[in-house]
Structure 1
Amino acid sequence: MNRALCAAVLVAACSMSAPAPASATTSRQASSSATPGGGCAPSTAPPQESAPPTSVNTLRQAYFCVLDNYYSGPVMDAKALLKSAFAAYTQSLMRRGADRADLRLPALTGNRDTDWAAFANVLGPGDPAALRAAITGMVAGLHDNHARWVRPTPSQEGGPTGTGIVGASAQQGGSQLDPAARPPMFITRVLPGSPAAKAGIRAGDIVVKADGVPPFIGDTVNQGILDVFASGTVRLTLKRPTTGRTRTVELREGPVTRQPPAVTSKKLADGVIHVRLPGFYEGAADQVIARLKGRPKAVVLDLRGNGGGSPREVTRLLGAFAHGKVTSYFCPLKGDCVPNRTDDSVPLLGSRLVVLTDRGCASACEDFSAAVKDNGLGTLVGTRTAGAVSGPGEGYLLDDGSLLLLPKVRHLGPAREIIDTIGVPVDHYAPMTALDLATGRDPGVAKALALL
């Protein structure tokens, strides 16, 4: 199990990313330079793996970067940003027993430049670990599921490691636990050949406890269990739903093999094809369309666990099912919303469509699902989507090689409705249970076939 939160039991959700700039092949050296006198530089390449440590200047860059580039940055209260950063900074010091008696938030006026100067004067040289916490806290204070700070991860000799548990029923959009989740929590995906697989852990196994911590307190998901899964070793008490047998397994990180995402398909009933799309990555739409060349009578498009990706892939795939439709809107802080439309260069399939969704369907996946529902292109089956689609994010590089992802616009559905934090409701409720997974049953596919 990786130490990063989203790579423990949870799978990191893919952000709905804006189209890559034409200069995406620019050298890493050129793309990592900060804008002189500004907060940050637009990213045209991945973050550097080797860079200077996080400093007060890095925090300064992040602060001005948010104010200059975030969706509501120009009208944001700069004091709130500094307050979030300062709270996280002092909490980091306290956790390590390094609090300072002279460390107090200075009086802030609302002028972003003079407030930063006062703030930086109080910090002094700064504590690197606390500075990293401050940037994390400042971004978290935006309460935006597409705003995040990503630090470069050094290359691992011998490949990636983890426990191999990469899916759980209580996850929302892959990156957090769902406050609407209902017990029990169960494993939904285990990587083949991983430590978890070798320990006999299977999809459907119910998590009774993790290091003695229950996943639910009453009917409320226990957010504290995230800290348990963020460690490299975890002791799991599991219940097999088919037998009722309970056992305890101690898992340690080991080598894992992750295959790149790929479209898969299989024939169901006569003239119906089931296509699973794990993400809207580059080329995903054409991969799905290639699987449907025979123009099947009906398509069951499985988007469960699809964490999102590129809006361009969304509009291209929708073009196979309808032309001349608005799929969503991207709205700036000021001015008119820009409509996104189906890619009408894609030949129409003429197939009936059923889309399978769950709480793991996030970002671009919700963009697709809302377009299907609002435009009457098909039927949604499963559970409500994640509600994690604030808007496409753009990357900005800071001087320590880290990347700040910030949405510049807000996403609205085709009916100009807000989907972020709410999700897209399904037409037919068909959740997956632990017993379903353990026995190979699929209520979503069964309902789709019944409808078709």
Structure 2
Amino acid sequence: MLAAMIRTLCAAVLAAACSISMSAAASAPTPQPVSTPGTDCAAITGPPPQSVPPTSVNTLRQAYLCVLEHYYSGPVMDSRALLKSALAAYTQDLIRRGADRADLRLPALTGNRDTDWAAFAKVLGTGDPAALRAAITGMVAGLHDNHARWVRPTPPPQGGPVGTGIAGVSAQQGPQFDPAARPPLFITKVLAGSPAAKADIRPGDIMVKVNGVPAFIGDSVNHNIIDLFAADPVRLTLKRPTTGRTRTVEIRQGPITRQPPKVTSKTLPGGAVYVQLPGFYEGAADQVIAKLQGRPEAVVLDLRGNGGGSPREVTRLLGAFAHGKVTSYFCPLKGECVPNRTDDSVRLLGSRLVVLTDRACASACDDFSAAVKGNGLGTLVGTRTAGAVSGPGEGYLLDDGSVLILPKVRHLGPAREIIDTIGVPVDHYAPMTALDLATGRDPGLAKALTLL
């Protein structure tokens, strides 16, 4: 489950506010017209069909043209880079399966999108379906954009969702592991009643090894362990920070219960209201505002672990704390940036605001935090946000039922600054440690109380 959790942390990418990290290559040739524009991938308007053909060379062609037509920098991209990324991933998949081909080489490319595709398709021939899927994944990964995705729908498992129940770890940075994460790697969330909970795995437990592989190599997180979590069973070597005891436990995937996200709140000493917002899902802003109907003097808004969601929810919630403010900009490749503004139809609360953030605060959460800091609406406490905010994406349906998600604009902060890959710095650094989680301490909330 953890592997899936890491990869899908930005599940609301269709509506999330993010910025494009991919820029046009300086040596890109003059763009050539693409044949039959608009007919090779269509904006998705409903669920993919249940019965679809397998992934084919034409599916890869659709994805190629879709990127060139609809991605933020697609119109000025060097199409040769896309084909190179696709063939590299294609051949690597064949090599892993011992099925490499002696005749498989990247043809001479000219920069003309149509003729290059024709030469590329001739080399592929009928294509290998598994390698073609790897090629689409590799081509999208070559964009280096945290909100570009290729998603293959999978039917829900019979009997409901399954997993280990480990739903959060300390090294999360949006949809990936944080390259700046410092040891140790510890568990931050365990689902009640899950296999992990039944094995007495608790928040704060330090993961020393996964299937015998160390979680850290020196001071660098071992990104390779992400795939190891998909093993069934998975063997974890854990250290409990309260006792120092180390044990190895083997857990198998089993039934898990995923509760729909909801806003929770409580009154803090001194009268401030603490509100935890797990995501900017539809209706989230109004749920937070409903918790603050008494118009408290101070609000502590906990966005730690908030994976993002809709930009509309961001501007609506910000409207409860300020009016007439620009919260961010959505910028096309060419032309004027479009400002996003606070929703001034929301009644002002007049409350002081402290926002708790961490490296798992991504996408729309980055957006909200940047607007708070950039407009002086409150104080940020915790750790720097994820910086996974490249631009709101749109989904395009391919002929095998898969969906390509591509940002059409890039996100900039309220001062037109780039937040993507950088994150929003906090005003007061208060990280959560493994021992804090294990003992129920909350340094971020404690710091917020001193500020209020």
Please give the TM-score of this superposition, normalised by the length of structure 1: 0.94
Q: Residue 82 in 1 paired to residue 83 in 2?
A: yes
Question: Residues of 2 paired with 1:114 and 1:213: CA distance?
Answer: 46
Query: Which position in structure 2 is the counterpart of 1:272?
Result: 272
Q: 2:157 corresponds to which letter in structure 1?
A: Q
Residue ranges of structure 1 left out of the alignment (5+ in a row): 20-34
Query: Which position in structure 2 is the counterpart of 1:25?
Result: none
* Equivalent of residue 17 in structure 1, options 14, 17, 26: 14
Question: Residues of 2 paired with 1:61 and 1:299: CA distance?
Answer: 48
Question: Residues of 2 paired with 1:156 and 1:165: CA distance?
Answer: 18
Q: State how 1:27-66 maps to structure 2 within 5 Å.
A: 38-66=39-67
Q: State how 1:57-136 maps to structure 2 within 5 Å.
A: 57-136=58-137
Q: 2:226 corresponds to which letter in structure 1?
A: L
Aligned residues: 433
SS in 2 for 1:59: helix
Query: Which position in structure 2 is the counterpart of 1:190?
Result: 190
SS in 1 for 2:214: coil
Q: Residue 395 in 1 paired to residue 392 in 2?
A: no
* Equivalent of residue 4 in structure 2, options 3, 6, 25: 6
Q: 2:404 corresponds to which letter in structure 1?
A: L
Deviates more, 1:416-425 or 1:228-237: 228-237
Q: How far has the Cα of 1:14 moved from its partner?
A: 3.1
Query: Which position in structure 1 is the counterpart of 2:162?
Result: 161
SS in 2 for 1:309: coil
Q: How far has the Cα of 1:332 moved from its partner?
A: 0.3
Question: Residues of 1 paired with 2:210 and 2:134: CA distance?
Answer: 26
Question: Residues of 1 paired with 2:251 and 2:448: CA distance?
Answer: 37
Question: Residues of 2 paired with 1:380 and 1:232: CA distance?
Answer: 40
Question: Residues of 2 paired with 1:17 and 1:37: CA distance?
Answer: 20
Q: How far has the Cα of 1:16 moved from its partner?
A: 4.5
Q: How far has the Cα of 1:10 moved from its partner?
A: 6.6
Q: State how 1:291-440 maps to structure 2 within 5 Å.
A: 291-440=291-440
User: Contact 1:281–1:313 (CA<8 Å) still a contact in 2?
Assistant: yes
Q: 1:171 corresponds to which letter in structure 2?
A: Q
Q: How far has the Cα of 1:45 moved from its partner?
A: 1.4
Q: 2:44 corresponds to which letter in structure 1?
A: S
User: Contact 1:39–1:63 (CA<8 Å) still a contact in 2?
Assistant: no
Question: Residues of 2 paired with 1:408 and 1:11: CA distance?
Answer: 20
Question: Residues of 2 paired with 1:445 and 1:439: CA distance?
Answer: 14
Q: 1:270 corresponds to which letter in structure 2?
A: G
Q: State how 1:146-295 maps to structure 2 within 5 Å.
A: 146-173=147-174, 175-295=175-295
Q: How far has the Cα of 1:37 moved from its partner?
A: 7.0
Question: Residues of 1 paired with 2:94 and 2:362: CA distance?
Answer: 35
Q: Percent identity, aligned pairs only?
A: 82
SS in 1 for 2:66: helix
User: Contact 1:15–1:392 (CA<8 Å) still a contact in 2?
Assistant: no
Deviates more, 1:219-228 or 1:436-445: 219-228
User: Contact 1:147–1:393 (CA<8 Å) still a contact in 2?
Assistant: yes
User: Contact 2:411–2:418 (CA<8 Å) still a contact in 1?
Assistant: yes
Question: Residues of 1 paired with 2:239 and 2:306: CA distance?
Answer: 27
Question: Residues of 2 paired with 1:10 and 1:119: CA distance?
Answer: 30
Q: How far has the Cα of 1:155 moved from its partner?
A: 2.2
Q: 1:339 corresponds to which letter in structure 2?
A: P
Deviates more, 1:222-231 or 1:272-281: 222-231
User: Contact 1:16–1:389 (CA<8 Å) still a contact in 2?
Assistant: no
Cα distance per residue 1:55-89 (max 9 Å; x no partner): 11100000000000000000000000000000000
Q: How far has the Cα of 1:18 moved from its partner?
A: 3.7
Q: 2:4 corresponds to which letter in structure 1?
A: C
Q: How far has the Cα of 1:156 moved from its partner?
A: 1.1
User: Contact 1:162–1:232 (CA<8 Å) still a contact in 2?
Assistant: no
SS in 2 for 1:244: coil
Q: How far has the Cα of 1:49 moved from its partner?
A: 4.0
Q: How far has the Cα of 1:154 moved from its partner?
A: 1.2
Alpha-carbon RMSD across the aligned residues, in angstroms, is: 1.3
Q: How far has the Cα of 1:224 moved from its partner?
A: 1.1
Deviates more, 1:49-58 or 1:312-321: 49-58
Question: Residues of 2 paired with 1:11 and 1:440: CA distance?
Answer: 27
SS in 1 for 2:355: strand
Q: How far has the Cα of 1:36 moved from its partner?
A: 8.3
Q: 1:279 corresponds to which letter in structure 2?
A: G
Please give the TM-score of this superposition, normalised by the length of structure 2: 0.94
Q: 2:219 corresponds to which letter in structure 1?
A: D
Question: Residues of 2 paired with 1:386 and 1:415: CA distance?
Answer: 19
User: Contact 1:49–1:152 (CA<8 Å) still a contact in 2?
Assistant: no
Cα distance per residue 1:13-51 (max 9 Å; x no partner): 2344349xxxxxxxxxxxxxxx98732000111333432
Query: Which position in structure 2 is the counterpart of 1:30?
Result: none
Deviates more, 1:68-77 or 1:270-279: 270-279
Residue ranges of structure 2 left out of the alignment (5+ in a row): 17-35
Question: Residues of 2 paired with 1:52 and 1:156: CA distance?
Answer: 21
Q: How far has the Cα of 1:229 moved from its partner?
A: 1.3
Q: 1:92 corresponds to which letter in structure 2?
A: D
User: Contact 2:169–2:189 (CA<8 Å) still a contact in 1?
Assistant: yes
User: Contact 1:16–1:311 (CA<8 Å) still a contact in 2?
Assistant: no
Question: Residues of 2 paired with 1:349 and 1:209: CA distance?
Answer: 48
